[in-house]
A and B are shown apart, each in its own frame.
Chain A
Amino acid sequence: MPLLPDGPAPVAPAADARPMIRIEQVSKRFSLRHTRALKEMVFAALQRKKLSDSFLALDGVDLTIRAGETVGLIGFNGSGKSTLLKTVSGVLFPDRGRVLLRGRVAGLIEVGAGFHPDLSGRENVYLNGAILGMTHEQIDERFREIVDFSEIEEFIDTDVKYYSSGMFLRLAFAVAVHTEPDIFLVDEILSVGDEPFQKKCLARIRELQAKGRTMVVVSHELEMLQKLCTRIVVLRKGTVIFDGDPVEAVATLRAS
C-alpha cells in the first residue's frame, strides 16, 4: 500500500535520549468469571466445576521507551498488545510490576470511545478534549483547527449519532491529535477511514514525530508500521519475543 510514499524514514533518537515510559516486570492476569448468578454458582460448586478461568495477558513485560521514539507493538490476536497499551494509559492496572510515565498521555485506544451519540459534534469535541486532558482555553484555542482537520464543517452542531462512521472517526482522530500530548498511544485506528484521510493522519503523526513526541502504536498493518516506526516490539502470549529494528521485527512475527 503506497500510503507512505514520501517523507524520510523516521530517525531513531539517540540511545541516551530521555526515557518517557518505563514498563517494569508488568504482569496482568484476567479472570473470566463464567457466571455471577447465585444459582449457577451453587450448581458449579456442587459439581466441582471451575467458576472462572484465568489467563496471563501480560507476563513480565519490560520495556523502556525514550523521547522521540515511535514504537510499534505487533503480535497476533490475544498476544497482549492492547492490554499493554491500556496498562500504559491507566485504564488497566498491572497485577505485578509497574509502569511509570513522564509528561501527559493521550490514548486513542478506540476511536470515539469518549464520544456520546446524543451530543453534538461541538459538545463532543469539548467533552473528549477535556477527557484527554485539555483545559477549556486550550480547546477554545484549537477548536477551529480540530474542525478544519476533521472536514465536517457544516455538521459540527449536528448530533453525532447522525454522523457516518467516517465522519465520526475523523472528528475523534482530530480531537486526539490536537491534544498535543507528550506520549500518544494509538490502537488500531489507522486502518479505518478512507485513503485521503489516512494519509492526512499519517502526515500528522509524522509531524508529531518531527516535534520529538513519543508514540506507541498498535496495528496489524505491518507494512505501514514498518515505515512509521523507529522500533517495533513483537509480543507473543504476553511476553516480548523481539524488540528492535522494524524490518527484522516484522520478519520475526511472520516467521513465528
Chain B
Amino acid sequence: MSTAPAAPRRRPSAAEQGEGWHAPGQDAGWLNPLRERFLLRLLVKKELRVRYRGSALGMLWSYVKPAVQFIVFYLALGVFLQLNKGDSAYAVYLFSGIVAINLFGEVFGNATRSITGNAPLVSKIYLPSQLFPWASMLVALVHFLPQLVVLLVGALLYGWTPGGTELLAFGLGMGILIVFTMGLGMLTAALNAAFRDVENFVDLIVMVATWLSPVMYRVSMVQDAIGGTFWYWLYILNPLTIVVELFHTAFWRHLPSTVEAMEADPRFAASGVSDLWWVGVLIAVATFAAGTVVFERSKRRFAQEL
C-alpha cells in the first residue's frame, strides 16, 4: 500500500465494487427495514417479550391504559363539561382521537429511545441501525391493533357502516400518522444518542399533543375562539389535527347521530380540516425525508456516543 491516495473516498468506486469490495457498515440506508425483514421481525419479537417480562397482565395493558384514559376523559369532558350534549356519539368521537394520538405518542416515544435503548447492540455489533426505530414503530402498531378493534366495535354499536370514504380516510390518516411520526422519531432518535434531554422533550410533546389536536373538543370550537388568526392556521396545519380529523371522518362523521346533528348545525361536523389531507401528506413526506437524512448522517457516530 505504498501509493494509497491521500484522501480516498470512503465508499469503494464502481470498479472496486465490481471486484466485490464494500465498506463495512455500507448498507441500504432507509431501505434496510425492507431488506432485513427477518431480523426486523426478531427485533420486534424481542421488544414485545422484554416489555412484558414478569408482567401478569402482559399485552392486556394495551387495553387497560386507553380504557382508563377514555373513561376519565369521557367523565370529565363529556359529562362534566357537557361536550356530549347534542352529540350522542361523543364516545366514538373521543375514542377515535385518543387511539390516533396514542399511536403517535407510542411510535414517537419508542422510536426516540430506540437507539439509546439498544446501546449494547449499537455499540458492539454492526447491524443496520435503521431497524431500531422501525422495530419500535411495529411494536406500537401491535399495541394499536386491539385498540382499533375496540374502536370498531364501539362505532358499530353507534350504527357505523364502513364505506369507501371511511376506509379511504382511515388509510390516509394512518399513512400520514406513521410516515410523519417515523420522520420525527428518526430525527429525535439520532439527537437522543448525543443528548438525552431529547427524550424528555419528546415526552412533553406527546403530553401536549392530546390537547393541541381536536381529540376532546370539536374544531369548530377552536375556530370560534381563534378563527382567522395565524394561530388558527398553525393549529389546522398541524399534521396531527389533520390525522385526528381523518379518523373522525372514518369513524364518526358519517354516523347516523352525527348526520342528524349536522342538519341542525352545519358547522357541527364540517369536514374542512380532513379535506386538507394533501397538506398532511406533504408535511409527512417532508418530515420523513428530513428525519432519514439526519439519521443517516449521524448513525456513524452512534457507537461512540453511547
Contact = CB atoms under 8 A, between A and B. Distances in A.
B303 A101 contact: no
A69 B10 CA distance: 24
Given A62-B4, A100-B23, A131-B127, A91 B303 contact: yes
Contacts of B12: 100
Interface stretch (A106-114, A190-198, A215-223, A244-252): A106-114
Given A118-B53, A119-B49, A136-B38, A113 B24 contact: no
A155 interface: no
Interface string A80-107: 0000001111111110111111110101
Among B20, B124, B301, B303, the one with the most A-chain Cβ atoms within 10 Å of its Cβ is B124
Given A62-B1, A93-B25, A123 B8 contact: no
A88 B195 CA distance: 27
Interface stretch (A6-14, A22-30, A229-237): A22-30
B42 A118 contact: no
Contacts, number: 103
A121 to B, nearest CB: 13
A135 interface: yes
Interface residues of A, number: 42
Contact of A114 (B10, B45, B121): B121
A130 interface: yes
Interface in A1-52: 22, 24-25, 30, 36
Given A24-B8, A98-B8, A107-B125, A123 B45 contact: yes
Contacts of A127: 42-43, 46
B126 interface: yes
Contacts of A103: 20
A113 B121 CA distance: 6
Main secondary structure of the interface of A (DSSP, over half): mixed
Q: How large is the interface on B (under 10, 10 to 19, 20 to 34, 35 or more residues)?
A: 35 or more
Interface in B187-223: 195-196
A116 interface: yes
Contacts of A92: 303-304
Contact of A24 (B1, B25, B303): B1
Given A24-B1, A131-B121, A100 B53 contact: no
A85 B270 CA distance: 62
A131 B124 contact: no
26 contacts: A25-B4, A30-B304, A62-B4, A89-B126, A90-B24, A90-B25, A90-B26, A91-B123, A91-B126, A91-B303, A92-B304, A93-B300, A94-B10, A97-B8, A98-B23, A99-B23, A100-B23, A101-B24, A102-B20, A107-B125, A113-B124, A118-B49, A126-B42, A127-B43, A127-B46, A131-B125
